[in-house]
Amino acid sequence: MSFLELAKRRYSVRDYKDTPVEEEKILQVLEAGRVAPSAVNYQPLYFIVVRDEELRKKILTTYPRNWIASAPVIIVVCGDHSKAWRRADGKDHCDIDTAIAIDHMTLAATDLGLGTCWVCAFNSMQCHKILGLPSHIEVIALLPLGYPADQADVDRHGTKRKKIEEIVHWDGFSK
């Protein structure tokens, strides 16, 4: 399968089978995040794999949507802004670095027959407290992981995404 085919197969899974995810597959997804590039290779990120049922239930209180409870694994993606590279104007690249890692993990999961959904609309402070994280670590995203119970239309991009002409500008920005 080509990279573009893989990218088109990835979708936000919101219904998972009641099938445990093999540890070797979890490790492959984590490895894809580990090898993701980061600004100046500072790698200001951490992954917390939550498989324990009781801890998962606590994490689920930070994002009270029924569908996420069907995911057998939640990867909590964290960043350390104090260790991130900063551009000359002060822009902190921690969020960008973690986004690249998450994207690598979502694609690796898809390649392994797994599904994910990038969740940002959760109570980060509550999640931070539940996990007992040190103050300098921020919970950036939740990444539920499991076997999809449904399938997405791989051709949906023709109607659900902007046309290339709407987002690409050549040799400068034009209206």
| List of residues 6+ apart from 44 with CB closer than 8 A | 38, 79, 80, 81, 82, 83, 84, 94, 97, 98
**Residue 17 has what pLDDT?**
97
Hey, how many other C-beta atoms are within 10 angstroms of the C-beta on 127? 22
Structure letter (DSSP) for residue 170: S
**Residue 174 has what pLDDT?**
79
The whole-angstrom separation of Cα 38 and Cα 153 is 32
- Where helices occur in 61-123 by DSSP H, the ranges are 94-111
* Residue 79 burial class via C-beta count within 10 angstroms: exposed 0-12, middle 13-18, buried 19 and up: buried
What are the backbone angles phi and psi of residue 77, rounded to the nearest 5°?
Answer: -95, 125
Q: Could you read off the pLDDT of 45-73 as tens digits, one per residue? A: 999 999 999 999 999 999 999 999 999 99
Low-confidence ranges of the chain (pLDDT < 70): none
Q: Is the Cβ–Cβ distance between 21 and 147 less than 8 Å?
A: yes
- Considering the entire predicted model, what is its pTM? 0.94
Which of 62, 92, 97 minimizes the C-alpha distance to 78? 97
The hierarchical CATH code for the domain 3-167 is: 3.40.109.10
| Burial per residue of 32-65, b for 16 or more beta-carbon CB atoms within 10 angstroms, e otherwise | bbeebebbeeebbbbbbbbeeeeebeebbebbee
